[in-house]
Structure 1
Amino acid sequence: MDSHVFQAVAAAAAALLLFLTYHSLAFVAGKKLPKGTRLPPGPPGKPFVGNLFDIPPEHSWLKFKQWSDLYGPLFRLNIAGRENYVVSSEKIANDLLRERGNLYSSREQLPAAAELLGDNLRPLFLPYGSLWRRTRKLMHQLTMPSAATTYQPTQVLESTRLLDDLIRAPQDYQKWFARYSSSVIFRLGFGKTMQDEDVLRRIMDVNHSLERVASPGSYLVDTFPSLMHLPDALAPFKRELKQLHEAELGLFRELLDDVKKQMDQNVAPHCWERTFIEQQESYDLTTDQGAYVIGTLFEAGSGTTTAALQSFVLAMVHHPEWMSKIQQEVDEVVGTSRLPEFEDMPSLPTVRAVIKETMRWRPVTAGGLPHQLVKDDVYNGFFLPAGTNIHPNQWAIHREPSLYPDPEVFNPDRWLDPSFPTFKEPLTVHPNIQNYSCFGFGRRICPGQNIAERSLNILVARIAWACDISKAKDEHGNYVDVPLYDYVSGFNTHPKPFQFYLKARSPHHAIIVRSALEKETQSDPLAGK
């Protein structure tokens, strides 16, 4: 294209962008407020862009927490004409996102992640409507508690395999945690073991692309949707994201087609893909829509569990007294001749408390996923206009002093001691992470929480039984410093690699792990597949 033509088109696009931004800001500013209402407070913005440049590109939830301390638990941001309200209170989040779920369960259709990367197929970003409800129905059937219990043998096998590898090569902990989380969901979703390194790489590429593309501020088109009107020749982001979509759609289709072929040969194991294929008509979903449902469950289950496990190890490195406490509890309940099993979990409240406190202290989705309001609403005298994005800032919600005294302190006792406001009985059931705010709110709550809870419970109990964890020492015998908060960016966040020391608690423990793995592998119907 001639450079003069290119400059003219670019100038016209910029002018259109400013025009649309100005009028969107003017519309919001000029919209008449219902009598007796007001807009929430918030940081003052700048002309045209509002608070766009006030929000840090990484770990925005930390800044949101500072603003909530200054402006209150419901404050307002304007991002280039887009209304955004940030919620920093569990009560407000539940009042709006759960109790008024018919109004607050949609998603803003951000062009980069929803339209270009996902081609409006990924349930996570679907607007609230009939298609979303049909995808949710399938997700619920696959992951509801009565179904989740049937997945426990897979979690037992994969947790034993992880223990064996973790003891042999603790420096590769990120790889082992990722494989554990991915292998559990891969078996459930596709009826296969995670032995194909190429498939694992492709799946991880899809996960990483999603987290990068969906992170706030990654693509200018999300802030200025009018850029979608640019022709492809002037919009390299369109070409990039469409190529990523083709890659992920090709992977999801391939995994589904493999199950179809196995079904044709009468050798397909029971798995989520088979359930969808057999009942596709009743769900009223296209093949690609169903493939994305299973793919989304895999994305959610593998990435979040991996992140939570890494934060658990970080917590134990900084708080070895709690590692000792859960080891003592597991030893008293289980003994030394076998590994912990799911049947032991009602007798392990300290293990469950450490898990819940880890997810409070370092929430995986720290900034929360925004819900979009579909109709004007009023809450406690504040006016919330239709189209507003409601951000449940989990980092701040998990640090409400009234619920969590000394919130920056890692203290699982807040779930075990009756003197804390979060204590619940009986301890054979509580603490647990069912419907916990770390999984989201209302109708958009994570459907895989039942599976995630079981995966975390069994593995943390087994790590406590089999392993000692502590700070690493350098060549001079000094402890290696580990940052309390050095986390990657993205809407799912986890600690950057850090050093620690891990070993089997005794040769006997290592032998029990190896023997259990050999026994479980021999009885595994998918072994070798």
Structure 2
Amino acid sequence: MALVLLFALMALCFAIVLKVGSREKELPPGPPTIPILGNAHIFPTEFPHYKFTEWARKYGSLFSLKIGNDTVVVLTGAAAVKELMDKRGGTTVDRPPSYVGELITGGLHILFARFSSSAWKTERRAAAAILTPQATNQHLPIQRAEATQLLHNILHSPQSFYTEIQRYSISVIYSVLHGRRVPQYETKEITGYIAVMHKWSALLEPGAVPPVDAIPILKRIPERWAKWKRDCKRVRDLQRARYFRLVEETRERMRRNQHNGSFMEDVLERQAELGMDDEMTSWFGGTLLEGGTDTTTSYLQSLVLALVAYPEAQKKAHEEIDRVVGEHRMPTLEDLEQMPYIRAIISETHRFRPVTPLGAPHATLTTEEYHGHIIPKGTTIFVNMWGIFHDPALFDNPEDFMPERYLLAENGTKPGIDGSDLKPTFPFGFGRRICPGMYLAQNSINLNAMNLLWAFDFKPDIDTNGNPIPVDIFAYRKGIATAPLPFKCRITIRTAAKARIIENEFLETADIFSKFEVGLSPEDKEFVARSREPEAKLLSE
């Protein structure tokens, strides 16, 4: 009898183990599972949006994966996104557990903080208080000035456009948040920041580290045998030191009564009211910094890539902006209302190369039912923006850059297709987790899209025989936020009159920049002085 009971117990244990990783029948369909691992063995470790899109075409716009006992649901349909992420946003507002996020940020990163955490509620409240559309518009002068320097720098060094775009994005957000700008790409602040951001983004990409949240025993792997743990520690040390230093520099400037209207001045003055200590304040400033640099940089680099690869779109944009703005002034945000084709280019760039193809994962706070399928409490949800924006059922020739689609239909969809579920804010997130810096980002995108098209021609580079070298529109960096890998192209000023306007406008930015040129290194001070000499000579002639 004892032997029979032992065998029965062993059989029960074996059956339970075999059930781990299997897909419950009420879940949405998905790839076949294997015991214990589920789909962990086939979970993509790089560019997961490509594989998710492939699976969506096979299993449907709502499919599931099993990672051990954990469930992942991928949404690749606009209707499902609207229903589950916006209408039911109160129950899909959570984030899944992120051991990597905890190791690096201690749970204080607004993007990854759990809904139940006091940190998320406090930081979200602070963001809502300081990042209003009205407050954001107060920072338009520094955004315009930095956009003018971007034109000026590309005019004088067109081969450096890729890094100059990075400098622009970082300097804007540094100025807006912490009241100090970054005048040149070679500034140590930039090179160090970019290196850390790339490491941080790579660690966050789905599949980049072992599935520790689904298989907790992996957390016990000693650091000496887990390179990813050592990478997390290094990134944490580097990020924390940088963010604390920036907050202390802002506080010290305030002590000297050198206020310049930066957002973090407002946060520091209201620290007690907002309930934020120095640790939370530093991570809050740092996470807003992250959100405002990588995304804008990637978008503008993708825009240039598309203009090089699709000259007909560029030609139409040139015709429109020349008609509306002309030769004798630079564009303004007010001009955009009169330029439907350039608005279409802006929308098409979001669709063609979404900055965050999967965004940050959400998680359910309660069990949800959708179209006959159960989505259990605690399910991780990915919104596959890439798959939605490249769905041939929604868009004609989705792999091509075709701004005209947004002239034919408000949301760019095929004739006869209802695109009302495709909200214009999709690129910025969903529900209560929508990007708090959306208005600031939109201003940067709109300003620079117009400026670049007004000022320059973008063409492929040429080989030694004078033949054009096509750009690779799929050569992108890995990470949660993707960006084109460095590429070459030929950028030329469109007319001599526009070159003179850029030179004169750049000189006039000096007064705006002066408020933010604090704590500059001797090298940066020399660069600032040198960069303004030619314009002074030009105006005196």
Q: Which residue of 2 aligns with 1:507?
A: 496
Question: Which digits, 9 at most, give the CA deviation of each residue in 1:58-97, with x for residues without a partner?
Answer: 2111111111111100001112332111100111011111
Counterpart position of 2:209:
219
Q: How do residues 68-83 of structure 1 correspond to structure 2 at under 5 angstroms?
A: 68-83=56-71
Q: Secondary structure at the match of 2:130?
A: helix
Tell me, in whole angstroms, the C-alpha distance in 2 between the residues paired with 1:440 and 1:369.
8
Matched residue, 1:16: none
CA distance in 2, matches of 1:240, 1:273: 29
Q: CA deviation at 1:156?
A: 0.7
* Cα pair 2:146 2:172 within 8 Å, conserved: yes
- Aligned length, in residue pairs: 497
Cα displacement (A) at 1:222: 4.6
Counterpart-to-counterpart distance in 2, 1:95 and 1:341 = 37
Counterparts of 1:302 and 1:169, CA distance in 2 = 22
Change (3 A) 1:258 1:103: same
Larger mean Cα displacement after TM superposition, 491-500 or 394-403? 394-403
Structure 2 equivalent of residue 428 of structure 1: none
- Tell me which of 336, 358, 363 is aligned to 1:372: 363
**Amino acid corresponding to residue 119 of structure 1 in structure 2:** G
Question: What is the aligned counterpart of 2:443 among 454, 458, 461?
Answer: 454
Structure-2 residue corresponding to 1:481: 470
Structure 2 CA distance for aligned equivalents of residues 406 and 316 of structure 1: 17
Question: Is 1:495 matched with 2:479?
Answer: no
Q: 1:288 to 1:420 in 2, by over 3 A?
A: closer
Q: Within 5 Å, which residues of 2 pair with 1:71-110? A: 71-110=59-98
TM-aligned CA deviation for residue 522 of structure 1:
3.6
Q: CA deviation at 1:142?
A: 2.5
Letter in 1 for 2:489: F
Which residue matches 2:137?
149
Structure 1 residues 231-240 or 449-458, which shifts more? 231-240
Match for residue 315 of structure 2 among 316, 324, 332? 324
Query: What CA deviation, in whole Å up to 9, does each residue of 1:411-454 have, x standing for no partner?
Result: 1122212597659xxxxxxx9x9852111211111111111111
Runs of 5+ in structure 2 lacking a partner? Answer: 1-12, 415-419, 519-541
Change (3 A) 1:420 1:450: closer
Residue 177 (structure 2) pairs with residue 165 (structure 1): no
Q: CA RMSD in A?
A: 2.5
- 1:61 aligns to what? 49
Query: Hey, what's the Cα distance between the residues in 2 that align with 1:189 and 1:244?
Result: 21
* Native 8 Å contact 2:302 2:353 kept in 1: yes
In 2, Cα distance between the equivalents of 1:419 and 1:343? Answer: 20
Deviation at 1:240, TM superposition (A): 3.8
Partner Cα distance (1:267, 1:434) in 2: 42
CA distance in 1, matches of 2:16, 2:161: 51
Question: TM-score normalized by structure 1?
Answer: 0.88
Partner SS, residue 472 of structure 1: strand
TM-score, normalised with respect to structure 2: 0.87
Partner of 1:160, secondary structure, is helix
Give the direction of change, closer, same or farther, for the CA distance of 1:22–1:414 in structure 2 (3 Å limit): farther
The aligned residue for residue 262 of structure 2 is: 271
- Structure 1 unaligned segments of length 5 or more: list them: 1-19, 424-430
Q: Pick from 106, 113, 117 the counterpart of residue 104 of structure 2.
A: 117
- Superposed displacement of residue 253, structure 1: 0.8
User: What residue is the counterpart of 1:248 in the other structure?
Assistant: 239
Counterparts of 2:114 and 2:43 in 1: how far apart (Å)? Answer: 25
Residue 23 of structure 1 and its aligned partner are, at CA, apart by 6.6
Instruction: Tell me if the contact between 2:364 and 2:376 (Cα under 8 Å) persists in the aligned partners.
Output: yes
Cα pair 1:73 1:89 within 8 Å, conserved = yes
Q: Deviations over 1:2-33 (max 9, x none)?
A: xxxxxxxxxxxxxxxxxx999798467597x7
Identity over the aligned pairs, expressed in percent?
A: 32
* Counterpart AA for 2:147: S
**Change in 2 beyond 3 A, CA 1:232/1:210:** closer
